Amino acid sequence: MAAPAHRRSLRKRRTLVVSAAVVAAGVGAGVLVLNANAGTVDLYHQTLAAKDGWASSGTGTTGGTKADAAHTFTVSTRAQLVKALGSASDTTPRIIKVKGTIDANTDDAGKKLTCASYASGTGYSLTSYLKAYDPSTYGRSKLPSGTQETARAAAQKKQAAQIVFKVPANTTLVGVPGTNAGLTGAMLQIQNVDNVIVRNLTFAATEDCFPQWDPTDGDDGNWNSNYDAVTLRGATHVWADHNTFTDAPHLDAANPKYYGREYQIHDGELDVTKSSDLVTISRNVFSNHDKTTLIGSSDSEPAGKLRVSIHHNVYKGIVQRAPLSRVGQIHIYNNYYDVTPLNGYAVQYSINSRAKAQVVAENNYWKVPSSVKVAKLLSGDGTGAIKGTGNSVNGTVTDLVAAYNAASSKDLKTTVNWTPTLTTGLETSASAVKNLPTSLGSTAGAGVLK
């Protein structure tokens, strides 16, 4: 059996229930969100509340709220989005309103682009690639190199130029209510910038046409893809809120196998890596996906960063990394995990703490079928810590760390070196935790904000 790969390879509110398996659709066309704590606020200028997770630390997260009229955009095509984002080095505050669904795999004229479009002119052929690096002849000791690997990288570079959108500092990117707002086939790259808000968007079908074969990854090798729906790399003060992430319509069950391993075209849904810091991930729906959220891309990332809060999110049909945490201080609370197998996605674990990560997981709710052992909900490498309190399995408070440690040879540590204080909205009562499946079903994900 292959070893799992941990390397890097998307109160009162008027609400709409969001499907976790398909692209969410909104109803109504207003521009306001009704918030019991803040009154009536302008959705496009809303900022992260005080003490709402790590992203509220220090200067807080305000995104593009200071944008002038010249830097306030409404976009409905890929070309318009590229123009609105401008240069990644331009720190001028901007608000970008996404109206409808934008397909990243389209040219400036709106013509659909395919994997064949990106491969054209590079010399890449999957048939030739498979022949060149077949482990029975090429071996398993080194990464592919040579003509076909060079061609694969060139084709992947062409796709990246089309689907990767670089977000500048001081930006608010928000879906217009009632328009089915979102990005298909895209990667939002938030890299080495500060102060970004991403809200009310559906991220679907982020796919790599040209995965790389790595025979050294795990016991039997793996196909590794290159694009996350949203990726944070060296970013600070980022608030990702009320978004929906899904592999749909192409689910992993449809992927073929080559060299006996799944030809994986999906990477992360929302990854936080390269010493990113001060991040709040709230009220999103993560669905139908394998490697969901990676915090820290390497066990050797320096200490002092990767501080992330994850709260009031819904996880359905998620295999792993919800999240996988390295090095940092991560607060995970009031989330709903439904680990019932869905569309071929079966859970390996929900939360992983490794590389000395300091995780506080409290007052979360797991729906666990009889086919899944409670000990499988957590994972670690023997150096990470999870301090767990008030977590519920099928309505019963359960010590998940104790269950994992009783079944594992690499115990999770049970004490951490910090105490969360940025906890606005934390629900601790037993009744509130038991109600999370219902309450988050109507308040999390895209299409809810008005």
> Rounded mean pLDDT of 104-129?
97
Query: How large is the average pLDDT for residues 262-266?
Result: 98
Structure tokens at 137: 């002849």
- Res. 40 pLDDT band, cuts 50 70 90: low
Question: Rounded to two decimals, what is the model's pTM?
Answer: 0.91
Residues 6+ away with beta carbon under 8 Å from 405: 411, 412
The C-alpha angle with vertex 19 and arms to 114 and 352, in degrees rounded to 5, equals 85
Encode pLDDT of 83-114 as tens digits.
999 999 999 999 999 999 999 999 999 999 99
Of the candidates 321, 280, 272, the one whose C-alpha atom is nearest the C-alpha of residue 301 is: 272
DSSP string, 392-438: EETTEE--HHHHHHHH-SSPPB---S-----BTT---SHHHHHTHHH
Task: With cut-offs at 50, 70 and 90, classify the pLDDT of residue 31.
Answer: very low
Residue 117 clears pLDDT 70, i.e. is over it: yes
Can you spell out the DSSP letters for 295-313?
Answer: E-S-TTPPTT---EEEES-
Q: What is the pLDDT at residue 5?
A: 45
Q: With 60 as the cut, is the pLDDT of residue 20 above it?
A: no
- pLDDT tens for 415-430 read 999 999 999 999 999 9
User: Residues 304-327: pLDDT tens digits?
Assistant: 999 999 999 999 999 999 999 999
pLDDT score of 23 = 34
pLDDT of residue 25: 30
Catalytic residue among 199, 261, 321, 354: 321
Residues 6+ apart with CB under 8 A from 398: 366, 374, 391, 392
DSSP character for 198?
Answer: E
Whether 321 is catalytic = yes
